[in-house]
């Protein structure tokens, strides 16, 4: 049936609001094919109609095909556009390097778009003020008292109370709420520096 595949594509999108399922290139190709076919059939019919004068009969068929392909195009656009929006959010969450499990679900065009977006964003952030400013931090109004600490050992992953994951490497410096580091200072993982 006309448009059914497009509908399925949108359903897939709706099911996975905040995450990215694997790029459905099969379905995308099938829909693209459907659109091309509709275009070709319409073109052929339009040519024939001028020859034998059966315009009125064919006109409705052409209209319906045209409507169906328009709808298909919209579905394709919505699918691709919304995946980019999701990718965009991930750029803000994960930074310029995506986790491998997410990367595996992207098409090569999406990967290219992501790296372009990342570049555009970094260029913008660098151009603010005199020294640039990182917009991907300070997402919430600051509340606690912060202190600067230096990591003395390769500690590995460390989760803050707000869910932020940190990778604590030897000699890395972090600016953290005092309450969050006190324990690690006691354990000798952190050194409080000025």
Residue 165, class by beta-carbon neighbours within 10 Å (0-12 exposed, 13-18 middle, 19+ buried)?
A: exposed
Should residue 47 be labelled a site residue for other proteins when binding is judged by CB under 8 A? no
For other proteins, give the closer residue by CB, 84 or 166.
84
Residues 73-112 interacting with other proteins (rule: CB under 8 A): 73-74, 76-77, 80-81, 84, 88, 109, 112
Q: Please give the radius of gyration of the chain, using alpha carbons only, rounded to the nearest integer.
A: 27
Q: Does 71 bind other proteins (CB under 8 A)?
A: no
Q: Which is nearer to other proteins, 2 or 146 (CB)?
A: 146
Nearest distance from C-beta of residue 122 to other proteins, angstroms: 11
User: Which phi and psi angles does 174 have, rounded to 5°?
Assistant: -135, 150
96 three-class SS: coil
Asked if residue 116 binds other proteins (CB under 8 A), the reply is: yes
In angstroms, the CA 24 to CA 32 distance is 12
Q: Does 121 bind other proteins (CB under 8 A)?
A: yes
């Amino acid at each position: 049936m006309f448009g059914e595949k497009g509908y399925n594509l949108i359903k897939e999108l709706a099911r996975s609001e905040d995450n990215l399922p694997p790029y459905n290139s099969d379905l995308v190709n099938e829909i693209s094919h459907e659109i091309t076919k509709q275009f070709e059939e319409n073109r052929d019919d339009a040519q024939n109609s001028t020859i034998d004068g059966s315009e009125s009969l064919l006109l409705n068929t052409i209209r319906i095909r045209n409507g169906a392909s328009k709808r298909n195009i919209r579905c394709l656009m919505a699918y691709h556009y919304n995946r980019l929006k999701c990718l965009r959010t991930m750029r803000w969450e994960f930074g310029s390097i995506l986790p491998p499990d997410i990367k595996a679900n992207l098409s090569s065009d999406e990967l290219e778009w992501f790296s372009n977006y990342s570049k555009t964003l970094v260029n913008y952030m660098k151009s603010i003020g005199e020294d640039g400013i990182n917009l991907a931090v300070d997402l919430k109004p600051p509340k606690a008292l912060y202190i600067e600490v230096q990591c003395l050992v390769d500690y590995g992953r460390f989760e803050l109370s707000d869910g932020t994951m940190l990778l604590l490497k030897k000699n890395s410096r972090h600016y953290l709420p005092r309450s969050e580091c006190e324990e690690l200072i006691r354990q000798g993982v952190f050194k409080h520096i000025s």
